[in-house]
Structure 1
């Protein structure tokens, strides 16, 4: 490789790394506890709640919906989700279907009685704070897109680092650490070794992070393009006083995909539906397909099934990237691997910053010495 080419790649690696390093450090540090979000929640909130009528008949989804709205007069339903391990239905309401997240109210209800399930929120405030900081720095879509750009720069930094690895390390055996030479050379060797060892993981986490920041544009594209033909004949909001049974709508959706399971329901006007439909999301029932979701649209006024539509490739990529980003595919063992690799990445980022500062210091001293000499001889 020509020296001019090496200099060009070195410039790319240096500046893409420097621009994103502080933000990547923030993401890595906040990501450490988020990897174990479920385990932390379970430790802080032991399972002491029991249903009112264990083994009893469940209320219908319509009854739960009515109960949730009675609990929040004047609000409308936005989302309904379902606990996996407990007979609990979670209902998100708000002053309007398109209310911002800060105006939404989340409540859980016992399927066997309709009673409110106590909020298990000890320590949750801290985890929610970390998640929000990790996701968008409390800046909404602009914060998400900014962090996505930082992730893009991180990817370029990784690629340029790989390009530079061979010419810089060609005279050394793999894994060589020059501990007896200068401190800077020693940390350069650590930086290169840890960087190349974590290469695949860093690329996966970086790229899935970028995909996750594009969630809102991806969902908006799906709604405006992929669903256009499905909802064309049902344009407009549901007429006042006209409402189809939610339970019946869910039953019809499940009939269309009996090999799938109910995940959540988005009500008309919400960010994951249209102005006139229940969007009933189903997911696969195997470890391989549980993160692939398929929506069924049912008109909220008439109960007519508009149709089932497979998610396009870009929404499938979004669904798969979320758990992969936090290592949620392989249980605790994979999370421990993710934790270790995250720590190593923090070391790579810190050593990269140190190497830049250490390289600037001699140049700074030379400049100061030259200036002093010029003043002395003037």
Structure 2
């Protein structure tokens, strides 16, 4: 059995190793994206003054539309490392920043995050290959987690209790021995973080099958229909759509225990206006609660709600823990540092694994002369 497990371990590692190495390194860079972006984008992310001349968020929306002579498509509240507002306008694909202390609107027509981290994220998510790249990274992540990590852990597992201390250390020896122990011991120490990274990375694409597995494990009912896929009909309405300021006033009537995160105004006749909320707008440990409301763009009437607090057990776990687990935020700074280090492990395992494979191959050239 161990012979075949080694074969499976080798084949899946060769298939996924390069991709997972790239995904791991870019993921490590992205762990501290909030702090690094706040420094790189400090002119846009930090308010210039300590004052706030606007009465409320509705007044901010009205001011932005007055200054830009355009309608807001979305308004994003300060969140994580960004202490200013961000917004987009209908008919304009660019993001802008709004300093609520001075009323200044940024003139840069740039990315929502720093361009460097936009590039890092796109490499991490799809290798710059678009939708096909998403399948490559997600499949490689699942192969790595479900095959390479699990088979490697089984092959490493000490058969005797007295061997555990020895199995968790790298000992002096020849180059081959050190390479082997560097491969096996580092993988053993980081097996759980690497498994979590791989599974959660695959979940972003293979959501339905992995959610069904989670529902089975947690003995949970299936999640309700995705509200983002619902179609609405507002034909025959004679009144105008809510303005951005009016929609924000409607938004404030819901979820007083949560913070407003973003609002998306309706672009088409059959679109709803979307209110987004979050339990904390700063980096924090523990689960994340993001709630959404789809509302009638003419009246503000609630059409549907999405709230992890009311979802079945399996769906609630995924909604609350997927992002914190994938980026290591669930345990605060300690797990973020651990995830940062862990992102470089796939490359180390791939290089040391290749060396082990080459060392074990027979010398086919010997004796041919």
TM-score by length of 1: 0.76
- 5 Å matches for 1:159-174? 159-166=150-157, 173-174=166-167
| Equivalences for residues 29-68 of structure 1 within 5 A | 29-46=25-42, 50-51=47-48, 54-58=51-55, 60-61=57-58, 64=61, 67-68=64-65
Does the C-alpha gap of structure 1 residues 358 and 314 become closer, same or farther in structure 2, counting only changes over 3 Å? farther
Q: What do residues 128-170 of structure 1 show as CA deviations (whole Å, max 9, x unaligned)?
A: 2111111112222321122000001101110111122237999
**Residue matched to 2:18:** 22
Using the TM superposition, give the Cα deviation of residue 356 of structure 1 relative to its aligned residue in structure 2, in angstroms. Answer: 1.7
List per-residue Cα deviations over 1:192-243 (Å, max 9, x = no partner): 111111111111111121123457999xxx99934399x67x4257969721
- For structure 1, which runs of at least 5 residues remain unmatched after alignment? 96-102, 374-378
Within the alignment, does 1:190 sit opposite 2:182 as a pair?
yes
Contact map agreement 1:284 1:290 (CA 8 A) in 2: no
Q: Distance in 1 between matches of 2:297 and 2:153?
A: 53
Q: Which of 198, 202, 211 is the aligned partner of 2:194?
A: 202
1:65-120 Cα offsets, whole Å, 9 max, x none, are 673597386xx75432111477733112454xxxxxxx821112233564303659
| CA–CA distance in structure 1, aligned partners of residues 56 and 11 of structure 2 | 59
**Superposed CA offset, 1:297-317 (max 9, x none):** 211122222243335544762
Is this contact kept in 2: 1:45–1:120, CA < 8 A? Answer: no
Whether contact under 8 Å (1:135, 1:213) holds in the other structure is: no
Q: Which residue is equivalent to 1:296? A: 293
Please name the residue that 2:149 is paired with.
158
Question: Whole-Å Cα distance in 2 between the matches of residues 176 and 216 of structure 1?
Answer: 40
Q: C-alpha separation between the residues in 2 aligned to 1:223 and 1:166? A: 37
Deviates more, 1:79-88 or 1:184-193: 79-88
Q: Does 1:81 align with 2:84?
A: no
Larger radius of gyration: 1
* C-alpha spacing 1:295/1:35, structure 2 compared with 1 (3 Å): same
CA distance in 1, matches of 2:223, 2:108: 33
**Partner SS for 2:172:** coil
CA separation in 1, counterparts of 2:274 and 2:158?
A: 54
Residue number in structure 2 paired with 1:279: 274
1:249-279: CA deviation from partner (whole Å, max 9, x where unpaired): 3444443322111111123359xxx933111
* Pair 1:105 & 2:94 matched: yes
**Which fold has the larger relative contact order, with Cα–Cα distance below 8 Å and residues 6 or more apart in sequence?**
2
Cα distance, 1:359 vs. partner?
A: 2.2
State the partner residue of 1:116. 105
Assess, with a 3 A threshold, how the Cα gap between structure 1 residues 267 and 320 changes in structure 2: closer, same or farther: farther
Task: Tell me the secondary structure at the aligned position of residue 270 of structure 2.
Answer: coil
Distance 1:289 1:10 in 2: 37
Q: Deviations over 1:298-340 (max 9, x none)?
A: 1112222224333554476255322332223444443322223
CA distance in 2, matches of 1:148, 1:241: 46
TM-score normalised over the length of structure 2: 0.77
Q: Count residues with an aligned counterpart.
A: 346
Counterpart mapping for 1:1-378 below 5 A: 5-46=1-42, 50-51=47-48, 54-58=51-55, 60-61=57-58, 64=61, 67-68=64-65, 71=68, 77-84=72-79, 88-93=84-89, 95=91, 104-111=93-100, 114-117=103-106, 124-155=114-145, 156-166=147-157, 173-175=166-168, 177=170, 179-181=172-174, 183-214=175-206, 225-227=225-227, 234-236=232-234, 242-268=240-266, 275-285=270-280, 287=284, 291-311=288-308, 312=311, 313-314=314-315, 317-318=318-319, 320-360=321-361, 363=362, 365=363, 367-369=364-366, 372=368
